[in-house]
């Protein structure tokens, strides 16, 4: 499978295999080709983007509503999305916790391991919270690609929680790339006791 995936790579997989401890492969150098077409220069600071970035920067310093939270993406070391989620690597936690800054947990009267409901405009999910001191206040950080069908919601400690159910369907596309909004989705947290 690796041979198929790596076919045509800059450094042939056979060369990489000769160094089980790893190696640097500086040659051949990668060069950008000559310009093509009428627009042959990079535009480093598009005026529209600069205006948008200034608005974001202003919002970062605005007073914050303690109840307002944003769901952001997260990677977990032991899986690729939820693939290869096995007992020998997940250390007894096969689900995707909702990580919050410890101060946000305390503000909502929560402790790591508590069960909550995350509610968004489109749907809601049940999940387990955990603390992450490295997060900025106001964020809920969860890995995507977990959870089962809606009728399996009660198995969140086994299957995880399906974050895609909280994302807006059919709207919220990124202005410049056209990508759907997959992060920074507004959510409300409800403790379930």
| Band of pLDDT at residue 167, cut at 50, 70 and 90 | confident
Alpha helices in the chain (DSSP H): 2-5, 13-17, 47-60, 87-90, 102-107, 156-159
pLDDT of 177 reads: 79
Domain ranges of the chain: 66-191
pLDDT of residue 63: 62
Distance (Å, rounded) from C-alpha 166 to C-alpha 186?
9
The first and second tokens of residue 34, run together, are: 């000559």
CATH topology classification for 66-191? Barwin-like endoglucanases (2.40.40)
pLDDT band at residue 66 under the 50/70/90 scheme: low
Between the alpha carbon of residue 71 and those of residues 15, 51, 53, 165, the distances in Å are: 42, 24, 20, 12
Give Cα 95 to chain centroid, integer Å: 15
What tens digit of pLDDT does each residue of 110-144 get?
999 999 999 998 899 999 999 999 999 999 999 98
Residue 157 reports pLDDT greater than 90: yes
| pLDDT-based confidence at residue 5 (cuts at 50, 70, 90) | confident
């Amino acid at each position: 499978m690796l041979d198929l995936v790596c076919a045509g790579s800059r450094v042939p997989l056979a060369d990489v295999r000769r160094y089980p401890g790893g190696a640097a492969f500086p040659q051949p150098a990668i060069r950008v080709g000559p310009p093509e077409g009428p627009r042959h220069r990079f535009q480093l600071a598009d005026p529209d983007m600069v205006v948008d970035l200034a608005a974001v920067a202003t919002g970062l310093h605005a007073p914050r509503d303690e109840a307002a939270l944003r769901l952001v993406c997260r990677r977990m070391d032991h899986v690729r999305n939820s693939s290869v989620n096995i007992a020998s690597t997940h250390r007894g936690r096969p689900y995707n916790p909702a990580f919050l800054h410890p101060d946000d947990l305390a503000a909502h009267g929560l402790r790591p391991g508590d069960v909550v409901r995350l509610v968004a405009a489109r749907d809601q999910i049940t999940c387990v919270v955990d603390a992450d001191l490295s997060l900025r206040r106001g964020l809920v950080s969860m890995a995507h690609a977990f959870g089962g069908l809606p009728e399996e919601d009660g198995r969140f400690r086994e299957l995880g929680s399906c974050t895609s159910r909280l994302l807006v369907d059919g709207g919220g596309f990124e202005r410049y790339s056209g990508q759907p909004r997959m992060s920074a989705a507004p959510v409300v947290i409800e403790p379930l006791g």
